């Protein structure tokens, strides 16, 4: 008998841990729902063809593929064997694996919209909270199964949705008690920077800038030089990355440096800032010109959320895309999406001790088991208590009191109820509050009343 | 470009469908929580070794296995190729596939308890609501990804948990508005029947009886005769399966037919019926001596739930097991579990048109977009409305009214709000209720008040 284990990089979620994730997801869900977003779920499995080629070459390698069933059918041996040779060469073979596990929520959503665009009413606002799987090397804070939580709007180019999703970030993190900085930039501004450098090398520039946070300005400049950017080009990029100040100052300096190329991006940013400006004149968003976002499909505004009081990478991000469903043959559906980093958000709240205490609370009452006849009486009261919405349970056997008390303690049950011969004769209940040791004898009605919801 | 599809037997859950499942799961969840059960989630992937051999030979074939990543590592080619030969022969190979998708929630739970029994406080009451995957041939009502919803208590042999789980079934189906018959039997009674037939052929007997509902008594008797049961044995089984009457009559007839062998099972059944008997003397459970339940690990009471007003197989089932964690090297932890058939429950409620209308409801208000300046004013009111918990949204652009009305209609949004130049000047809102066509002009406070929660 081998001691059972979990696959590397996966986790069980025992009650206390699960309740924390549920609290985070429920808080975000309420914000989504109040903003008119609707839930969607897609299957854990997608056709491998749906996923391949969407996450870059490195991404493709991290997709968990599912072995076809029925491979032991002798009629298909040759085909399967040929297919497996392809797999060994790093290719894919439908004869061996046709399906794979969801790698993110964006591509399945695009696939869903492409398949159902005739039935959907646009703009279509959906949120999705589901696990995804990646064959990354497991390490602290990086798992092979983890939860994503996304909201997207497709079918409208309106900047109103940039505003809407910004408000969602603000409200969700306010409710979760996490102080954040929401950083924004615009792909058109990065494109204008590439234009100013002679054009055509946007990806090299964004790839280098994307590392700024981790490696610092000098290393970024070294990488660019190594990639063949000349002194004049490097000088423009350095000036760009060195722009400082408040939002207004950044907009002005960028316009001065990049000129008309940047105009559209700057106009969008200015519109959003103005639209969201608070009555006291403050801006809830912060322009971050060094923000690039690695994903290729972003084409407009991009977002990133940093927790202010925690040493933690980004806890959210997103952006506008022009044509995600074009990948599936249905072009012309623009959209915008944001994502919440659920695991990291849980870590930040844990670090700050900000989970509500109710998460750890057990049922409200444990009925002691005082013998067969007594238990039968207590059971009726337990049912009445549950009927009014109070969580409660009964110890399963007439064990020693210390054993029953210990169970209440370990389950974080704050009160225990006794219905012994005396209480049954008098139609009462004895209630003990464990924290104080206080004991009271109550009528059954008063007992129910005590736990009734306010 | 290939039109995207979904893997066979899997489904997207668009908002309206998903909300139905969420309603069912949330209703059951509340019943679990009030009964002191705590949530658990386990990973979608388990080590293949954890799952193999637990579901019978047929079950093993239906497990979705995950291809190992990194098979294109040349150093491992020979090993992988040898492994793949094994796969083609119907065996398993860790060189090709080490992991697999969860096939049910019971075995992962047993694995969890075996891994964590030192940390858990027993009795441990958990519920689990997660999808499972099986490579069954897809057909109407049978999917390759479907949801299971289980509650189990491990670490106590007390019959109080038979009572607790019965009450959970009763309360959950009461809340869902589904009239059900909850049938019970006891493995010891089936074992007594096998004893009365000379002993040792319990599995043959239960396998035959399990088909009674589908094929009828005569076919069951034919199968038993074919399996070598002689006339005397068949006669006993036929008498057993023909026992009729109310619970009391069945208990009496079974005792008369099977004698002392059946005593323990009959005592348990009688205890449970008495414990649950309603003040009016009625029994919420029904003894069904023909109930067998296919699963081998049940050792005590067994349960099955049938919907009374729908043509539908079982919508729930479960039973007591002595030693599920023994499979993982940790013996001596008895338990009992029940399961809800989530898909079928949704089908029954759908068939009866019993889903609450709130499931289809969109946001409460759509703010019309009447131009840039107006939208900015309306946005502040929209935020205030959301702040008080009312779901609402704004049309994304100043489109023609008929377009904006149509959007409200398609989203099932009952009211639309106008903030035009006049309303802004007067600090009012015009509100139109779509169902009646009624229009009112309200102060902003009165508008907010209108949608405030009672």
CA distances to A362, A368, A402, B382 from A434, in Å:
13, 13, 13, 46
Among candidate residues B238, B202, B198, the one with its CA nearest the CA of residue B219: B238
To test the contact with chain B by mutation, choose from A14, A99, A114, A271 the residue with the greatest count of B C-beta atoms within 10 A, namely A14
Has residue B312 got a pLDDT over 80?
no
State which residues of chain A have pLDDT below 50: none
pLDDT of res. A2: 66
Instruction: List, for residues B258-300, the tens digit of each pLDDT value.
Output: 988 899 999 999 999 999 999 899 999 999 999 988 667 889 9
Q: Give backbone dihedrals phi and psi of A128, rounded to 5 degrees, phi first.
A: -145, 130
pLDDT higher at B25 or A211: B25
Kindly report, as residue ranges, where domains of CATH 3.40.50.800 are found in chain A: 361-450
- Residue where the block lists tokens 């009030």: B34
| CATH number for the domain whose boundaries are A361-450 | 3.40.50.800
- Out of B4, B70, B72, the one facing A114 most closely (by C-beta) is B4
Question: Is the CB of B71 less than 8 angstroms away from the CB of A80?
Answer: no
Q: Which residues of B touch A67 (CB under 8 A)?
A: 64-67, 87, 96-97
- Lowest mean pLDDT: which of A151-155, A392-396, B354-358, B414-418? B354-358
CB atoms within 10 A of CB A155: 20
Q: How far is A199 from chain B (nearest CA, A)?
A: 30
How distant is the Cα of B419 from the closest Cα of chain A, in angstroms? Answer: 16
Q: Could you give the CA distance from residue A137 to residue A172 in angstroms, rounded to a whole number?
A: 31
Give residues with Cβ within 8 angstroms of A447, minimum separation 6. Answer: A381, A385, A417, A429, A431
In angstroms, the separation between the Cα of residue A6 and the nearest Cα of chain B is 6
What confidence score (pLDDT) does residue A210 get?
A: 85
**Strand pairing partners for B151?**
B127, B338
| Residue B200 buriedness (CB in 10 A; 0-12 / 13-18 / 19+) | exposed
- Tell me which residue in A44, A72, A171 faces B88 most closely, judged by beta carbons: A72
Query: Which residues of chain A does B275 touch, with a Cβ-Cβ cutoff of 8 Å?
Result: 376, 379
Position of tokens 């088909």? Answer: B211
For residue A140, with 0-12 CB atoms within 10 Å meaning exposed, 13-18 middle and 19 or more buried, which class applies?
exposed
Rounded Cα distance, A271 and A287, in Å: 13
Tell me if A307 sits within 8 A of A348, measured CB to CB: yes
Q: What is the pLDDT of residue A295?
A: 64
- Kindly tell me if the per-residue pLDDT of B52 is higher than 90: yes
Nearest CA in chain B to A31: B386
Beta bridge partners of B147: B131
Q: Which residue of A has its CA nearest to B126?
A: A15
Element (H, E) at A300: strand A298-307
Q: Test B396 with A41 for CB contact under 8 angstroms.
A: no
Q: Which residues contact B85 (CB under 8 A, 6 or more apart)?
A: none
pLDDT in tens, B149-158: 999 999 999 9
Q: Cβ contact (<8 Å) for A7 and B80?
A: no
Residue A426 CA to residue A420 CA, distance in Å, equals 10
Contacts of B154 in chain A (CB under 8 A): none
Q: What is the pLDDT of residue A5?
A: 95
Task: Report CB contact under 8 Å: A15, B42.
Answer: no
Q: What would the pLDDT profile of B364-377 be if each residue is shown by its tens digit?
A: 999 999 999 999 99
Look at the domain A15-46+103-352 and name its fold: BirA Bifunctional Protein; domain 2 (3.30.930)
To the nearest whole Å, the CA of B178 is away from the closest chain A CA by 18
pLDDT, chain B, mean: 94
pLDDT the model gives residue A165: 98
Q: What is the predicted pLDDT for the residue at B2?
A: 67
Dihedral over alpha carbons B256, B262, B268, B269 (to 10 degrees): -50
User: Which residues of chain B have a CB within 8 Å of the CB of A396?
Assistant: 123, 156, 158, 160-161
Report the distance separating Cα A321 and Cα A157, nearest Å: 9
In chain B, residues under CATH classification 3.30.930.10 are 15-46+103-352
SS3 B258: helix
Query: Read out DSSP for A374-437?
Result: HHHHHHHHHHHHHHTT--EEE-SS---HHHHHHHHHHTT--EEEE--HHHHHHTEEEEEETTT-
Question: Which region among A97-111, B141-155, B188-202, B406-420 has the lowest average model confidence (pLDDT)?
Answer: B188-202
pLDDT band of B415, cuts 50, 70, 90: very high
- Does the beta-carbon distance from A43 to B383 stay under 8 Å? no
Q: Where are the beta strands (DSSP E) in A29-120?
A: 38-39, 45-47, 65-66, 99-101
Residue A13 and residue B41: Cβ atoms within 8 Å?
A: yes
């Amino acid at each position: 008998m081998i001691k059972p284990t979990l696959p590397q990089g996966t986790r069980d979620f025992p009650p206390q841990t699960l309740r924390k994730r549920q609290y985070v997801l429920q808080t975000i869900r309420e914000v989504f729902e109040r903003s008119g977003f609707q839930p969607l779920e897609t299957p854990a499995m997608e056709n491998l063809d749906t996923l391949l080629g969407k996450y870059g070459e490195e991404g493709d390698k991290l997709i968990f593929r599912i072995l076809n069933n029925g491979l032991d059918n002798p009629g298909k041996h040759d085909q399967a064997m040929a297919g497996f040779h392809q797999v060994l060469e790093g290719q894919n073979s439908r004869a061996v694996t046709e399906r794979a596990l969801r790698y993110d929520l964006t591509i399945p959503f695009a696939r869903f919209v492409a398949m159902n665009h005739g039935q959907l009413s646009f703009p279509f606002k959906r949120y999705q909270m589901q696990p995804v799987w990646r064959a990354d090397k497991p390490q602290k804070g990086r798992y092979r199964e983890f939860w994503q939580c996304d909201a997207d709007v497709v079918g409208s180019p309106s900047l109103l949705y940039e505003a809407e999703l910004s408000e969602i970030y603000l409200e969700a993190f306010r409710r979760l008690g996490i102080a954040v900085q929401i950083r924004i930039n615009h792909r058109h501004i990065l494109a204008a920077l590439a234009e100013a450098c002679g054009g055509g090398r946007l990806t090299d520039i964004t790839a280098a800038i994307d590392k700024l946070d981790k490696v610092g300005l000098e290393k970024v400049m070294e990488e660019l030089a190594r990639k063949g950017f000349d002194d004049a080009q490097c000088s423009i990029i350095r000036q760009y990355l060195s722009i400082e100040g408040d939002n207004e100052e950044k907009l002005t300096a960028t316009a001065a440096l990049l000129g008309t190329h940047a105009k559209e991006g700057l106009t969008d940013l200015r519109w959003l800032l103005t639209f969201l400006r608070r009555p006291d004149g403050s801006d809830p968003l912060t322009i971050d010109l060094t923000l690039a976002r690695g994903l290729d499909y972003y084409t407009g505004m991009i977002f990133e959320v940093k927790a202010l009081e925690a040493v933690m990478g980004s806890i959210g991000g997103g952006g506008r895309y022009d044509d995600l469903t074009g990948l599936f043959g249905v072009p012309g559906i623009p959209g915008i999406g944001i994502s919440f980093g659920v695991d990291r958000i849980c870590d930040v709240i844990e670090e700050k001790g900000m989970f509500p205490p109710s998460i750890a609370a057990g049922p409200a009452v444990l009925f002691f088991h005082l013998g067969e006849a007594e238990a039968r009486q207590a059971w009726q009261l337990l049912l009445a208590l549950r009927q009014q919405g109070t969580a409660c349970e009964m110890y399963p056997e007439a064990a020693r009191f210390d054993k029953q008390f210990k169970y209440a303690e370990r389950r974080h049950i704050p009160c225990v109820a006794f219905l012994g011969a005396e209480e049954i004769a008098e139609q009462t209940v004895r209630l003990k509050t464990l924290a104080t040791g206080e004991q009271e004898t109550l009528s059954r009605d008063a007992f129910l009343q005590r736990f009734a919801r306010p």
